Amino acid sequence: MDLLSAGPDKINKKTLEQYPEFIAFQNIRSEQTDIQTSIEIAEQQTPEELLENVHKSLSDGLAAELLRRVKESSPSFFERLVVELLVQMGYGGTLADAARVIGRSGDEGIDGIINEDRLGLDAIYIQAKRWEGVVGRPEIHKFVGALQGQRAHKGVFITTSDFTKEAQEYVKNITNKVVLINGLRLTSLMIENNVGVSVAATYEVKKIDSDYFADE
């Protein structure tokens, strides 16, 4: 009614977009189109592909929620998380052994030291920080300098954020072996090693055993 009362010279999309009712109508059509597109894509996939895509979607959602929880945790909780993850991955021996060395150094950019194996044949120096901004080359350079000051050869820098491209390139061209673990990789390792997560359900997908029928 308002449109007709205004008496425009011509009615086009730009004219209609001035009215909330038209915007709402467009949004509904857009949602319907997205749903229809999703249905068409799903119909073109095999059941195995659908399962794989659903699993990936669930995993991505879990990783995002896990990272949010980690960022909101206290420093002491984050320290325990790092200890448990490293032990689950086979480093540091027992939780008690690992806990005695993580967080004790605090020396020149080093947060802790953990044994690479149960026998303690080599040590890995660790820095683990809950950062919001990306970690740049200067921070990694400082960590590497701390390693060299301790005559250490291996280090792991863990952050809940990410690393700049310069930082990633820097560790490729130094004699020390330094592994960078960003928030995405941290949550991936946590899920892989069942730290902070539990199995909600397990499904078996079975197929025909061709060998069984080979001698038929």
What is the DSSP code (8-state) at residue 134? P
All domains in the chain, ordered by first residue: 75-192 (3.40.1350.10)
Find the mean pLDDT for residues 30-56: 66
76: which 2 tokens? 């002491």
pLDDT of residue 110: 64
Q: Is the pLDDT of residue 35 over 70?
A: no
What is the DSSP code (8-state) at residue 101? T
Name the pTM for this structure: 0.69
Q: Which band of pLDDT confidence, cut at 50, 70 and 90, is reported for residue 57?
A: confident
What is the DSSP code (8-state) at residue 122? S
Considering the chain, what percentage of its residues have pLDDT values greater than 90? 29
pLDDT of residue 176: 85
Query: 200 — phi, psi (to 5°)?
Result: -85, -40
Tens of pLDDT, residue by residue over 155-209, are 999 999 999 999 999 999 988 899 999 999 999 999 999 999 998 888 888 888 8
Find the mean pLDDT for residues 70-97: 82
CA gyration radius, the chain: 27
Query: Rounded CA gap, 19 and 143, in Å?
Result: 58
Q: 85 and 187 in contact (C-beta within 8 Å)?
A: no
Q: 207 and 177 in contact (C-beta within 8 Å)?
A: no
